[in-house]
Chains A and B, each alone.
Chain A
Amino acid sequence: MNLRTIIRSSYILKSIFVISVFILIFISGVSYKHSTALSESPELLNKSYNIQIQLEKLLSNVKDAETGQRGFIITGDSAFLHPYYSAHASVQRSFIVLKHLTADHQKQQANLDSLVHLINLRFNYLDISLKTASVLPVNKDQLEKNMYRGENIMNKIRFQIDIMNELETGYFKDHQEKYSHELYFTPIITFIILFFSLVIFIVSFIKINNDLFVLKKSNEELLIKTESIKHAEVIGEFCITLWDMDSNSISYSDNLYRLLGCEPQSFEPTIENFLQFVHPDDRNIVKTGAEKAIQESKTYARFYRIIRKDGELRYFRSIGKFISDDNNKSKTHIGIIKDITQMHLINIKLEEKNRELEQSISELESFNRVASHDLQEPLRKIQTFISRISEKESLTMSEAGMEYFEKILTSVNQMRTLIDDLLLFSRTYKAEKVFETTDLNLLLENALQELSQEIEEKNAAFTTVQLPVINVIPFQILQLFTNLISNSLKYCKPGIAPVIRIDCEIVMPNGYPALEMNNQTRYYKISITDNGLGFEQKYAESIFLLFHRLHNKTEYPGSGIGLSICKKIVENHNGFITAEGKPDIGSVFTFFLPE
């Protein structure tokens, strides 16, 4: 598992946390609601009870007033009137209390209002009866009439109070039902929420635990990697520098100090301090390199010398890269500084060897050229003198003398061919390789033109196919055609006219090991087939070697260089040449040229 998964899982944890907070807030809301409902219930009961008591009290007060009035009417003793008078005040007090208690019930308030009205009416009749009774003689009819009316109203009051009591009981019952209903659901909801929270907590716990495990593992891996980088730095003689472009702070790995011959972290990591170790002549390279890197946001490889603390001269190479975070905001430069002293010294040696080699090659070449050139000069003169003598002195010379002269001429001619071919061979080696897009048909035509005399002499027949136009060194391919065809002409069977066929096809490098090494996709396979002497297949390789000959010099004069030149020419073109032969049947020379 990697850090990215952990980062993703931290998002999951965050969302779980937010969800949990919401669920907890919801739980608290529900609980609060339920607890308020619970605390309201007894209060409500208390209130209903109070209302009923006050109503009873009211009724008894009215009854008290009635009893007092009756006592007075019967006895005429005004002491009976005490409760009658105090009843008034009591009734008023009860009213106020009831008004307050029934404030949240409109219906009950209306009932209370009609009760007040009835009670006031009752008191009114009581007053009238009392007045009637206190005026002597007592008007009995009127008194009785009033008393009946009073009694009637009293019944109404009782009825009204009963209504109010019932209503109150009803209210209380409703409330009680609703409350018990709620109480029934509360534990279920709480349990569900609890269960849900538990699930979330367990999931979160497992997740966190997993992440912790992964983190621990990543940490261990990181530790191993850091350690291996440190070792790699020591083994590979390099070090890593980090340059935070925002804060312009630099940190050098321990190995840099070691490479400089110092104790790790023994000086403050700054460019100035590092420059102290750079060879004075090279300080500018490092300094301008750093400036250029900042300007162009790109680092180039730099080479410079370092003088270590112990005074030893070392060669360093540094290269780096700017990296920035995803938002492209903060930029850091990672640099690699490598001690390349060993490699550099080897390189210097190699360069020296290379120079020596180049020099010896060019010396050899000029030797070859001069030798061939200077050898030709006396030979040419010998030839000219021979031609001069045989022209002027032929009549005075003996026959044997003439024969010896012929032999001298043959040897000299052979020598010249040899030198000419050697010169040609050295030239194919040196070869200014100027490739030109050339029509091979024209080159073949030119080659046949060059050999026209021999072709005519031997009465040779040719069949050719259309050849391609490709990028070649023209004079070398001309030489190649000339050499191969002249070979076919030379090694023909005595008395049989040479028949030479030139073929061409496109082939893939598969199946030709010599071609597979090059990164070329297609090749032209050009072959020259003859009906000449041929050769044993075992010589197929060796005939391309320098000075290698299969035939006697006197029978078939030649230098043994021609096919070596052919091989070199084809190699110059990144191609490849092979030969196939059957004695007395003929030979096939095939060469491949890249398309």
Chain B
Amino acid sequence: MQNEPVRVLLADDDEDDRLFFKEAFDEIKIKTSVNLVNNGVELMKYLTQKSTQLPHILFLDLNMPLKSGMDCLLEIKNIEHLKNIPVAIYSTSASEEDIEETFVQGANIYIKKPSDFRTLRKVLEEVITINWQYHTSGLIRENFLLSI
């Protein structure tokens, strides 16, 4: 993993958000390969392709047309070879219901999209440096919502 870039996948329907996401990773020192998909349907299609190399971490927007992030999360957790991918919820809102539901359905972390680019960079950097193997085993509700 030292030499190999961290494979990051983002599913978000908003073009600007995808842009910020990509730019933020470009400015991070850690070597990453960022993949972007435009909605839930595309995401599931991408993940279930045989040729796809699975991401190390998946960033999932909740509010997407056709197939919402919640639907994707449910599907992923029900597919044997996908259910171990760490999922970071990446959403504009941080309503109690959304946080509660995604936590119950097995998401690993909840990120409220920051309104400041510097913060965004910091958040994303922190998320990809988390040792997920360790983090997943001790998932606690209190730490679920990432606060910077």
Contacts and interface: CB of A to CB of B under 8 A. Distances in A.
A427 B99 CA distance: 15
A230 to B, nearest CB: 61
Q: Is the interface of B mostly helix, strand, loop or mixed?
A: loop
A380 interface: yes
B96 A475 contact: yes
Question: Interface size bucket, A side?
Answer: 10 to 19
B117 A380 contact: no
Given A373-B63, A377-B14, A381-B16, A388 B117 contact: yes
A479 to B, nearest CB: 11
Given A373-B63, A377-B14, A384 B92 contact: no
B46 interface: no
B93 A384 contact: no
A369 B113 CA distance: 17
B93 A376 contact: yes
A416 B117 contact: no
A384 B63 contact: no
A130 B16 CA distance: 190
Nearest to A390: B117
A221 to B, nearest CB: 67
A376 B118 contact: no
Given A373-B63, A416-B115, A384 B20 contact: yes
B92 A376 contact: yes
A429 to B, nearest CB: 14
A387 interface: yes
Given A381-B16, A384-B20, A373 B93 contact: yes
Question: Interface size bucket, B side?
Answer: 10 to 19
Interface in A372-427: 373, 376-377, 379-381, 383-384, 387-388, 391, 416, 423, 427
A70 B147 CA distance: 178
B58 interface: no
A391 B118 CA distance: 9
A379 B117 CA distance: 13
Given A376-B92, A377-B92, A387 B63 contact: no
A425 to B, nearest CB: 13
Given A376-B93, A377-B92, A384 B14 contact: no
Nearest to B63: A373
B63 A383 contact: no
B18 to A, nearest CB: 12
Contact of B116 (A376, A383, A427): A383
A271 B102 CA distance: 60
B144 to A, nearest CB: 15
Given A383-B115, A391-B118, A427-B95, 8 more contacts: A373-B92, A376-B92, A376-B93, A380-B115, A381-B17, A391-B117, A416-B115, A475-B96
| For the complex of A and B, 9 pairs with smallest distance between CB atoms | A383-B115, A387-B117, A380-B115, A387-B116, A388-B117, A373-B93, A381-B16, A377-B92, A384-B117
